[in-house]
Chain A
Amino acid sequence: GAGVSQSPSNKVTEKGKDVELRCDPISGHTALYWYRQSLGQGLEFLIYFQGNSAPDKSGLPSDRFSAERTGGSVSTLTIQRTQQEDSAVYLCASSLFSLASDTQYFGPGTRLTVL
């Protein structure tokens, strides 16, 4: 079956522009996660969606970052007024239910470069 897909695979933007990153989780997975992977920094948690519950936004680094998940499926991560320090690989993952008992399946990521 299809895995987690993300688009675009690469995005180059100018400082100050807004960008939207898309994630299509595995069908039927109720949990969806966004992480950011920077060189030498490992994976940094950004936001978590579980079913129809309010998302856990505790990892979002600033109010320029927001995310939504429509219909419990597709998710969009939006970064407003991009800065050079936002350059990273943005990874989306999904799991069937909760983190504790289920494997997180990762997409290939979107490589964002802010010039």
Chain B
Amino acid sequence: QKEVEQDPGPLSVPEGAIVSLNCTYSNSAFQYFMWYRQYSRKGPELLMYTYSSGNKEDGRFTAQVDKSSKYISLFIRDSQPSDSATYLCAAGYPGANNLFFGTGTRLTVIP
């Protein structure tokens, strides 16, 4: 079993829709949670960073972490065609030398 599980999709939504992307994890030691966005033929770029449980909002993006259920979510409001990319969730814990990534969800926003 992977440490971080993510539905690979693909997911297609119309422009303007609310998108919900989700991951689950198994290691209760995880304290840091990230969402990366990866465009085709590019490296991942950090989108959201959350420490421990709670919500974090940045513009149209909201990240949620529920440590009791080991669930990580990313919501995208008013989705745009430019949001079409692969979204990767990741988690880490203090002292670890690497992040643990989900497999990524490929999102397409249709104009």
Residues of chain A having any CB pair with chain B under 8 Å: 4, 33, 35, 40-45, 48, 50, 56, 58-59, 91, 93, 99-100, 103-109
Query: Nearest-CB distance from B6 to chain A (Å)?
Result: 7
Whether B99 pairs with A45 at a CB distance below 8 angstroms is: yes
Residues of B within 8 A of A44 (CB): 101
CB closest residue in chain A, given B42: A108
Among the listed B44, B90, B97, which residue makes an inter-chain contact with A91, where contact means beta carbons less than 8 Å apart?
B44
Q: CA A103 – CA B102 in complex, angstroms?
A: 17
User: Which A residues are in CB contact (< 8 Å) with B45?
Assistant: 105-106
Contact B103 A103 (CB under 8 A): no
- Please indicate which of the listed interface residues A42, A100, A107, A108 has the most CB atoms of chain B within 10 Å of its own CB: A42
Q: Is the CB of A43 within 8 A of B101?
A: yes
Q: A42-B88, A43-B44, A43-B88 are in contact. Are A104 and B32 (CB under 8 A)?
A: no
A43 to B90, CA, bound (A): 9
Can you list 26 A-B contacts (CB < 8 A)? A35-B98, A35-B101, A40-B8, A40-B103, A42-B2, A42-B6, A42-B101, A43-B88, A43-B90, A43-B99, A44-B101, A45-B98, A45-B100, A59-B98, A91-B43, A91-B44, A93-B43, A99-B96, A99-B97, A100-B32, A103-B46, A105-B45, A105-B46, A106-B43, A107-B43, A108-B43
Given contacts A50-B97, A91-B44, 10 further A-B contacts (CB under 8 A): A42-B102, A43-B88, A44-B101, A45-B97, A99-B97, A100-B94, A103-B46, A105-B45, A108-B41, A108-B43
Given contacts A40-B8, A41-B103, A42-B103, contact A99 B98 (CB under 8 A): yes
